[in-house]
Structure 1
């Protein structure tokens, strides 16, 4: 298939591009490189551009007759979305609208959307399935929810068949450490902990220790980037084989607290780094864990890296290599 990957130079997009290339697909990456890196694009062609540029999108789609779009380009930092909501509605919602207009105009049949568990907000149940009410508590989740709704309505109006994948907490790196999380000023817990263990940060912070969880810290479902990337290829195959549009959780159904993750990074790295306990951070729900039965039954997806120690070990290997490259 000929596939357009927006945001394909970023953390998640670059791993999906690598797997697409390894599977023999023809990939065009479209990325403004605001947080992504050209060196992370290991397959296909990279075109530098912005989704706000309608003319550039028209030229791109008219030149390349795409079979599918995988849409990753977005801002993803929850606290920043609380402080600067219009940035998130502008990029994550309005720019998705710009892209969907071209998907409709150029009759691109398949669309895979990078969504988030943040659309659920603070659910009543810790284990969340796709029928849970959508009630985001921050602009990041709200902007993604709006994009999901646009995609659904366009599909009902004769637009593309789609799969919206609601990610839980993505972590880890390519097992061969070719690419990994390299977003500037990243806030991902495992990356921050690894950087602290490497001495790139003097200490890290645990935001909130008074949540209604067993150890008082937030619980999240951490999914290895390799398993998440594979879900996108499974979604493409599903759509190409006539599958109907779907919304699917991407997670393992197993949650770990912030303290448990920090302790695992200490174990894997062998470094007893400092982790200061501070007040809660705006926009953080206490616990988010995926019910993943639907993605397993619909796509036949099966995780291969569902182990916190493996996730941390691959992240640590990448962070150690990347620290040397950038020092």
Structure 2
């Protein structure tokens, strides 16, 4: 690629977005970030990256950013991601994930930004039957979170049919781990991701881990999921963006997973091996709507992009997640110390 257009990363101070910023910078892309810091962290964005604190639904702000940065592509991560919260507050999720995405797409069309990479989810498939999930598996979400993402997928497809814009929809399975160099990681309080929860329990931040369902039709009775390292995931985003630029008029929809599942107990055992400890497991009934197994079929992404995962190993995922927990604890302690010094001055 001769030149790399400036990329605006929405939600770039959050978990996956901050990793995408690093991946883009490492590959030589100009980057800017917009984030309202409702769940993200300013420290997660390198100081050299132009940062706009604001709402991704603010079309006037977006127009200013596009003009100031000369934006040529968008990676859209901003949004809400906790499934139970979407059930309790569906209208909030439709506003944050769908209505504001509509505003972003409209602003991009108006400014002539030609490419959008969208952070979607395997939750759009709902509770599929057994076997690996392909991109052609019927999409029938079972919660507002999944529907809010599927609606945005539809808006992108319709916008691309009517305007000179192309998109990459990347449907994530279970994202985990942290930057191998420990520059960023999952920092949100009360996170619900299993690997994050297990690492918090292993480092004394939680007393135990709840295991929801032990009677599934799986080898050990607990739910099986396809865990993908966050750095491999964002590498797929960069490659997808390159593909959009290199082949005008082409849009992409790709599953992002490894095609192998691990059970809840296998994940907890991996964390135990990494720490030499023992996480307390509390066995609980199944949660409504949780499928026994959700595993991707990665054939299309491997055939479409030169994507070769570097961290497709549960032990590495756990190692990097634990490494980040230790770094995060040091950052938190340093912040508390600065606040104490400031208040005493």
SS, match of residue 205 in structure 1: strand
Q: Is the 8 A contact 2:268 2:279 kept in 1?
A: no
Q: 1:63 to 1:324 in 2, by over 3 A?
A: closer
Instruction: Give the corresponding residue for 1:308.
Output: 314
Instruction: Give the corresponding residue for 1:38.
Output: 42
| 1:267 Cα deviation after fit | 0.8
Q: Tell me, which stretches of 5 or more residues in structure 1 are unaligned?
A: none
Matches within 5 A, 1:220-235: 220-235=225-240
Instruction: Give the corresponding residue for 2:13.
Output: 9
In 2, distance between residues paired with 1:64 and 1:27? 9
- State the superposition RMSD in angstroms: 1.2
| 1:285 Cα deviation after fit | 2.3
| Residue of structure 2 aligned with 1:133, choices 127, 130, 138 | 138
Q: 1:139 to 1:65 in 2, by over 3 A?
A: same
Instruction: Give the corresponding residue for 2:75.
Output: 70
TM-score by length of 1: 0.97
SS, match of residue 60 in structure 2: helix
SS, match of residue 213 in structure 1: coil
| Residue of structure 2 aligned with 1:18, choices 10, 17, 22 | 22
In 1, distance between residues paired with 2:151 and 2:253? 14
| Residue of structure 1 aligned with 2:56, choices 51, 62, 66 | 51
| 1:261 Cα deviation after fit | 0.5
- Superimposed CA distance per residue, residues 118-169 of structure 1 (whole angstroms, 9 cap, x where no aligned partner): 0001112330000000011111111100000000111111241111000110
In 2, distance between residues paired with 1:159 and 1:271? 55
SS, match of residue 52 in structure 2: strand
SS, match of residue 9 in structure 2: strand
Structure 1 runs (4+) deviating above 3 angstroms are: none
| 1:116 Cα deviation after fit | 0.4
SS, match of residue 322 in structure 1: helix
| 1:84 Cα deviation after fit | 1.3
Q: 1:47 to 1:203 in 2, by over 3 A?
A: same
| 1:54 Cα deviation after fit | 2.5
In 2, distance between residues paired with 1:15 and 1:52? 22
SS, match of residue 290 in structure 1: coil
Q: Is the 8 A contact 1:69 1:112 kept in 2?
A: yes
In 2, distance between residues paired with 1:231 and 1:270? 33
1:150 equivalent to 2:155? Answer yes
Instruction: Give the corresponding residue for 1:284.
Output: 290
TM-score by length of 2: 0.92
| 1:64 Cα deviation after fit | 2.9
Q: Tell me, which stretches of 5 or more residues in structure 2 are unaligned?
A: 334-345
Matches within 5 A, 1:183-194: 183-194=188-199
Q: 1:282 to 1:45 in 2, by over 3 A?
A: farther
| 1:282 Cα deviation after fit | 4.0
Q: Radius of gyration: which is bigger? A: 2
Q: Is the 8 A contact 1:82 1:282 kept in 2?
A: no
Q: Is the 8 A contact 2:127 2:289 kept in 1?
A: no
| 1:283 Cα deviation after fit | 4.0
SS, match of residue 4 in structure 1: strand
In 2, distance between residues paired with 1:283 and 1:86? 20
